Amino acid sequence: MNVVGAGPAGMMAAIFAARAGARVLLLEKNSQPGKKLLLTGSGRCNLTNIFAGEDLLGHYPGGGRFLHSCLANFPPQAICAFFQELGVELVQEDEGKIFPRTGEAGDVLAALLGELERLGVEIHYNHPLAELLIEEGAICGLTTGDGKKFSGQKVILATGGASYPATGSTGDGYRIAKKTGHRIIDPGPALVPLLLAERWPRSLSGLAFPAEAQLQVGKRTIVEQGQLLCTHFGLSGPLALNLSRHVTGKTALRLNLLPQLGAEEIFRDSASTIGQRLDRLLPHRLNRKLLELGQIEPSTKNLAPGPREQLSKLIFSLPLTVTGTRPQAQAMVTRGGVALNQVNPKTMASKDVDGLYFAGEVLDLDGICGGYNLTAAFATGAAAGRAAGGA
């Protein structure tokens, strides 16, 4: 059988198919495997997340219900055990994020490659997929860009999405899947920084702080909490990235910078200046900018009703205008892809083409920051490998 794509989903699929007894050929368009895996977690590889517990599916705004079966069979705890068995020591960090103890994504890749070698999986590099070969509604092989033909009655398509194209994720799988009759949900960026109309946040570039955000999307209000990072173009950080999948154009954003407090707690202490009070609650650069926007002197002790109301709005309902997102090429993951109603959620098998399976980002799946997208890649890869390799 053939697995196309030596990324996280493809390597996991090849491993589980080989463990099920199949003879596996893994085809990769690049000259080396796992290029995108090496970038995850800022090069540290946030493998999975054990914080969500029973609410794991809720961390997938795209396709959460579809993942129920494969995550039940290969949950975060099983992913941790899998890598520990391969000799990767793990460490848990904030919010349940799991990393290799060394902090090196290369160690995760080396472990996967070692297991592929142990299982006898043959890897062919510089072999981009050109076409799937189908006869009477069933897979019978594939061809690569150089005209080579590989026969086989099973193919797992794990070609990735359309984010970070330099890593090989150029949307090839969407084109191939569409030719086989699968509907493609229009791909777009997810987990990508936001662009702002306002220029003043640029003066705070590099500053990170927690906030609660309300993003107005049509008649819906999306509410999220997390860490924001001011940049030279707008906002990044986990909170901005998680909101980005909902952004399709210009939209209103409001930030509550102190969701755990009320206005009375800020203005109660009249012995210190307003600048001193805010310095105890917010980063100095941020509160100075808020006071500047409200035209309030930091040395003021007692605010008049007008300035007090103005400052309260800036702290608890700071208005910003999102004009869009950074390009798809700069997104961590892709929303959209192969329509899930044409895929068996237990086996990742196509409902329309016998012998065709899908795994990873080529599917219409995406999760929030924190290791959830790698979790989905590993889980869908394992499900596809088990099913394709065991049949």
DSSP secondary structure, 84-150, as one string: HHTT--EEE-GGGEEEETT--HHHHHHHHHHHHHHTT-EEE-S--EEEEEEETTEEEEEEETTS-EE
Number of domains in the chain: 2
Q: Per-residue confidence of the chain (391 residues) as pLDDT tens digits?
A: 999 999 999 999 999 999 999 999 999 999 999 999 999 988 999 999 998 777 899 999 989 999 999 999 999 999 999 999 999 999 999 889 999 999 999 999 999 999 999 999 999 999 999 999 999 999 999 999 999 999 999 999 999 998 888 888 889 999 999 999 999 999 999 999 999 999 999 999 999 999 999 999 989 999 999 999 999 999 999 999 999 999 988 999 999 999 988 777 788 777 789 999 999 999 999 999 999 999 999 999 888 889 999 999 999 999 999 999 999 888 999 999 999 999 999 999 999 999 999 999 999 999 999 999 999 999 999 999 999 998 5
Q: Do 314 and 340 have their domain in common?
A: no
Q: Do 49 and 185 have their domain in common?
A: yes
Any idea which residue has 């210190």 for tokens?
272
Q: Do 80 and 173 have their domain in common?
A: yes
Please work out, in degrees rounded to the nearest 5, the angle formed at the alpha carbon of residue 111 by the alpha carbons of 362 and 71.
Answer: 45
The phi, psi pair for 309, rounded to 5°, reads -65, -40
pTM: 0.93
Residue 150: give its domain's CATH number: 3.50.50.60
Any idea which residue has 């509604």 for tokens?
137
Q: Do 344 and 311 have their domain in common?
A: no
Neighbour count for residue 101 (Cβ, 10 Å) = 10
Distance CA 88, CA 63 (A): 29
Q: Do 6 and 111 have their domain in common?
A: yes
CB under 8 Å to 262, separation ≥6 — which residues? none
Q: Do 361 and 280 have their domain in common?
A: no
The phi, psi pair for 21, rounded to 5°, reads 110, 0
Helix (H) or strand (E) holding 296, with range, is none
Q: Which domain holds residue 22?
A: 2-189+332-390
